[in-house]
Amino acid sequence: MIRKALFPGSFDPLTNGHLDTINRSATLFDHVFVAVSTNTAKKNLFDVNEKIELIQLAINHLDNVSVIEHTDGLTVDLAKKVGADVLIRGLRNAEDFEYEMNIAAMNKIQNPDIETIILMASQQHRFLSSSLIKEVSFFGGDISKLVPPDVDRAIREKYSVLKLEK
Ligand code: ADP
């Protein structure tokens, strides 16, 4: 039996924490779909195509991972559509726990056949979030050890354009 998993998220942008979760998921499942949501309450710095491209560049070494767009509809419906019966999420701290527990419970009600598997964030990535990365980078901080190289470049480009436009 082929086990497929779906890792949904905003990935605005991908961090080394997300990438670590993707790498580890790729060893646990035959195929992993990274699903980039377009429909999020969070204000996004990158559009969905930019996010997808940045993830693709970072997962080049993994032949059992692909990136898809999650435009609208339920996450469990997207999982079903691509043949995944597991949702992957990451957990960094107690705050994530409350949030992830609610999402997992709701997804289970929507489709009891789909299981959520939560991977604990690796020790070195527990403090890492896309929003913190954006904030530090906006103020000129060095994020090069915290995100893949193409993400580092893309954020710096994005902010230099945005600052020029002001
Ligand atoms: P969402 O808006 O769906 O929470 P995110 O891109 O913020 O999207 O996160 C996607 C998933 O990755 C979430 O389950 C989140 O807890 C997890 N995650 C975020 N940052 C890290 C990290 N540093 N290490 C491990 N998992 C993480």
Q: In what order do the strands lie in the sheet with 65-70?
A: 65-70, 31-37, 4-9, 86-91, 115-120
Question: What is the third-level CATH fold of 4-127?
Answer: Rossmann fold (3.40.50)
**Which of 18, 91, 145 for a ligand 1 pocket mutation test, highest count of atoms within 8 Å of Cβ?**
18
What percent of the chain is modeled with pLDDT above 70? 96
CA distance 97 to 118: 10
Nearest CA to ligand 1 atom 26: 90
Read off the pLDDT of each residue in 40-69 and give the average, rounded to a whole number.
93
Read off the pLDDT of each residue in 8-29 and give the average, rounded to a whole number.
98
- Asked if residue 92 has its Cβ within 6 Å of ligand 1, the reply is yes
Confidence tier at 4 by pLDDT (50, 70, 90): very high
Confidence tier at 40 by pLDDT (50, 70, 90): low
- Catalytic annotation present for 61: no
Confidence tier at 72 by pLDDT (50, 70, 90): confident
CB within 8 A of 77, min separation 6: which ones? 111
Phi and psi torsions of 155, nearest 5°: -65, -45
pLDDT at 115 over 90: yes
Distance 12 CA to ligand 1 centre (A): 10
pLDDT at 1 over 90: no
Nearest alpha carbon to residue 6 among 49, 53, 48, 66: 66
- Asked if residue 53 has its Cβ within 6 Å of ligand 1, the reply is no
- Catalytic annotation present for 92: yes
CA distance 120 to 70: 24
Distance 164 CA to ligand 1 centre (A): 30
Predicted local confidence at residue 135, as pLDDT: 94
Please report, as a single letter, which amino acid is at residue 63.
D
Domain boundaries of the chain, sorted by first residue: 4-127
Predicted local confidence at residue 3, as pLDDT: 97
- Catalytic annotation present for 108: no
